[in-house]
Structure 1
């Protein structure tokens, strides 16, 4: 009879593995790499991150717009009580230069009985060309150049923010993937345990009917089946919920959500034990100091504040502008207009000067900018230390989990030896079904704990690279 029971248990094991093999033939594996590729391609957050770069590009275009040439045309006519007072028509082209001066060219034609004498022009009009040069404030930097340089830095800031959003998205999605794998393996484990308990219950019933076992053993066997049915139901619920969380991250083109098929399963690839050397940690720390998006943003913000501080310091200078225009009595440029003697006899020259007496607004702006620079420098120092600490902490957790997994693997092996030994003792009539079930429960608990540790290990690797600012493992 004992041989018959052994044959039933063997058949149970074969059927379990056969059912698993058949299920694997119909399943489709979703690897972590493919999963992340789908997320980066179509996830709304990834699309938003890409738009940050486009927004920065358009901000730079707007900033460059202050250097666009501008044409201004003014036409005025006055008539009152049937009298024509005057007609004025003035057209000017302004071309701002990068280093401060502004080129000007224009044409004006005015006439009228009551025209201001200084606005009189020849019959063919008066053309002019010249330049306006700031010799004090605005010579080395002005609002246009300050705005443009900060907009150029904004492109790098937008790129750092894009990387930060992508890293955060991949971190959350990858953690959900590992939870999905944990629950998938747990369901498999409980399914095998349930089928084994079910076959053992049948074998116990046969042996009890034949008088080889006591009837109370059939109750013990049924309780083991029921307990494992409960465990399997809970594991199946957890698996379905984690599968839904994974599916939330999957999108097709045009913001169409993708459904995760029930036949799709995760893979173990990426959860293997990998020993990291100390020099690898040093490389990650160096990478984090140079490339972590939070540190890059603070560093670029400091560069922006440096430009702002230079512009604020320039505001302390007096405004001293010189304007020179060569005049010509027609619309077209005549070669003689470029003659030195001609330019000395036909010109309009202007000099303007202004300076606030107390400079309170300018000095306040400069000191405020310096205070912002100090705040940003302190934030950068603190953020650098926190990021370095988080990288080292993730590395320490990685090493600790590696040791815990090795110990837990030994615990699983020992639990398996005890269970198999108890089965042999039971077949020899030296043990009871209760002890076998107890040994199997302990084995299941050890295996589940091992799966949980492997999941934590995979998450710790993901978190380590995220802490360093790089999710490209």
Structure 2
């Protein structure tokens, strides 16, 4: 027949009549590298069937996306603010130990006429629920003997201290609030880490979806171009009377169906680019819808997973994952609450000492120049239902947290095993899909030879082309599934956790 058509972008004809090129289906991949770096390495291209235009811009790599997440992703920056919030609350609770200054003025008229005033400074102590104080008092005029505001003409300096020996001794509400606020500062770390792992996983999935969509579009455009170039050849052969017009009509219908597939692939790439723009941001924090030209020419290395390493990663995940750390810190807060509740069961046994120094000899004769006082007070609560009820509540909350911790361990184990299983399956599918592409391309080429020998027709050839096209798309998805599985696995074992917010402390 002398028919020369295009198969997958390679001219194929009868032996000795040009062509004879071997079609190589499949997605472009690189040689094997280290598993941990596979998801972030740059693509290396080998000769394949897809025609890739000369690149004018650098391809977008996963490292660039993750760097943008760390620097400019708004939910990540919002998560970091949690640390500032907790630090601010800690400082707020420390305010309970700030020194206080008080002043008082008094005026009395009637049988006794006098004026009095005092200024005092008090500092709460961080132990034994105590405080120390000191100040100056001064009165003028004449006050009755029973008045505690009396001073000599030059005033009185006074100082003292108060301590709680039982209730509010070892702990009180102020110190409990400070201890819990310090724990809240630590609790910010597992919260931030959980957010980070989720954001990195989501960004990686969005990136690989975008890469796969770009490669699907290239394959769709390639097979469309094959049908369009064949249409030109068929038009010339119809003019020479070598091919029936209905053959070209069938091919034109094929061009139309493949054009529809290209539109769908374009829309899929645009949607993936828009989703990726949530993570990829410019210097002014605006989302960047990355252009098609930055789609890599191929995937990075796909490395066989090491199933033996899963056991080690499983042990590390229990330490690195933030869930158990969060539960443990929450239990630590309840321990503080428990100590406070037990404190409230105790009676009050408070002691106080004070000293006063008078200056001047007038107008009172019965005031000693120096006075020392000491006192003790005992107060016993009767019902104590509030403290007992609080202890019952705390015990129930602790039991609930222990159950949550048990389930968290089980869930971490299940997630790591499931992610490992998905990774192994994805790796297996890559090899099977690659073989499927090679077989489909071989059958397609054989169908062309049969067609040239008159043993087949164009419909059979087109079906073989479609099978090869579908096999190539399936291979792209299988490789993308592998790298999405890598992202899931790394998130499940907290492999990418920043050292600053790791839970292993």
Global fold match (TM > 0.5)? yes
Q: Which of these residues, 266, 288, 303, is aligned with residue 317 of structure 2?
A: 288
Confirm whether residue 165 of structure 1 aligns to residue 195 of structure 2.
yes
Aligned pair 1:249/2:279, yes or no? yes
Residues in 2 aligned to 1:80 and 1:220: alpha-carbon distance in whole angstroms: 120
Name the counterpart of 2:139.
110
Q: Deviation per CA, 1:397-455, whole angstroms, max 9, x where unpaired?
A: 11112112211111111101101111222233332211111001011111111111222
Deviations 1:334-381 (A, max 9, x none): xxxxxxxx99x7312222221211211111111111111111111111
Q: Given that residues 76 and 88 in structure 1 are in contact (C-alpha distance below 8 angstroms), is that contact kept between their aligned partners in structure 2?
A: yes
Preserved contact between residue 419 and residue 440 of structure 1 (Cα < 8 Å): yes
| Contact 1:31/1:269 (<8 A) preserved | no
Cα gap change, 1:425 to 1:214, in 2 (>3 Å): same
Q: Which residue of 2 aligns with 1:390?
A: 415
Residue 303 of structure 2 corresponds to residue 274 of structure 1: yes
In the TM superposition, 1:43-442 aligns within 5 A as 43-79=73-109, 84-98=113-127, 100-114=129-143, 116-253=146-283, 255-266=285-296, 268=298, 272-330=301-359, 346-442=371-467
Instruction: After TM superposition, give the deviation of residue 137 of structure 1 in Å.
Output: 1.0
**In the TM superposition, what is the alpha-carbon distance from 1:158 to its structure 2 partner?**
0.9
- Comparing 48-57 with 124-133, which one deviates more in the overlay? 124-133
SS at match of 1:106: strand
Unpaired runs of at least 5, structure 1: 332-341
Where is the helix percentage greater, Structure 1 or Structure 2? 1
In structure 2, the residue matched to 1:337 is none
Q: Secondary structure at the match of 2:295?
A: strand
Q: Is the 8 A contact 1:9 1:200 kept in 2?
A: no
Task: Identify the match of residue 488 of structure 2 among 452, 463, 466.
Answer: 463
Moved more, 29-38 or 213-222: 213-222
Using the alignment, how far apart are the partners of 1:6 and 1:64 within structure 2? 79
Counting matched residue pairs gives 458
- SS of 2:59's partner is strand
Indicate if the aligned counterparts of 2:4 and 2:11 stay in contact, CA closer than 8 A: no
Alpha-carbon deviations, 1:37-90, whole Å to 9, x = none?
Answer: 112211111110111111111111112222222222222334479x84432324
Quick check: 2:163–2:351 contact (8 Å CA) kept in 1? yes
Change in CA separation of 1:424 and 1:78 when aligned onto 2, cut-off 3 Å: farther
TM-score, structure 2 as length reference: 0.83
Gap runs ≥5 in structure 2? 13-18, 22-46, 361-367, 499-505
Q: How far is 1:106 from its partner? A: 2.0
Deviates more, 1:152-161 or 1:288-297: 288-297
Per the alignment, residue 2 of structure 1 pairs with 2
CA contact (8 A) 2:437 2:472 kept: yes
79 and 252 in structure 1: CA distance in 2 versus 1, 3 angstrom threshold: farther
Give secondary structure in 2 for the equivalent of 1:251. coil
Q: 1:267 to 1:17 in 2, by over 3 A?
A: closer
Inter-CA distance 306–253: structure 2 relative to 1 (3 Å threshold):
farther
For the aligned residue pairs, the C-alpha RMSD in angstroms reads: 2.9
Between 1:282-291 and 1:388-397, the stretch displaced more is 282-291
Q: What is the CA distance between 1:123 and its match in structure 2?
A: 2.1
Preserved contact between residue 91 and residue 107 of structure 1 (Cα < 8 Å): yes
Instruction: Evaluate the alpha carbon distance shift between residue 30 and residue 403 of structure 1 in structure 2; reply closer, same or farther with a 3 A threshold.
Output: same
Matching residue of 1:336: none
Of the structure 1 ranges 5-14 and 273-282, higher mean CA displacement relative to structure 2 is found in 5-14
Which stretch of the first structure deviates more once superposed, 261-270 or 129-138? 261-270
Q: Deviations over 1:295-321 (max 9, x none)?
A: 211111011111111111111111111
Q: Deviations over 1:178-197 (max 9, x none)?
A: 11111101000011111111
TM-score normalised by the chain length of structure 1: 0.89
Range with bigger deviation, 86-95 or 176-185? 86-95
Indicate the larger mover: 273-282 or 356-365: 273-282
8 Å CA contact retained: 2:152, 2:358 = yes
Q: Indicate how the Cα distance of structure 1 residues 414 and 58 shifts in structure 2: closer, same or farther if over 3 A, else same.
A: same
Take 2:129 and 2:109, find their aligned partners in 1: how far apart are those partners?
A: 41
Change (3 A) 1:258 1:26: same
SS in 2 for 1:353: strand
Is the 2:126–2:175 contact (alpha carbons within 8 Å) kept by the matching residues of 1?
no
SS at match of 1:26: coil
Separation in 1 of the partners of 2:321 and 2:51? 44
Higher relative contact order (CA 8 A, sep 6+): 2
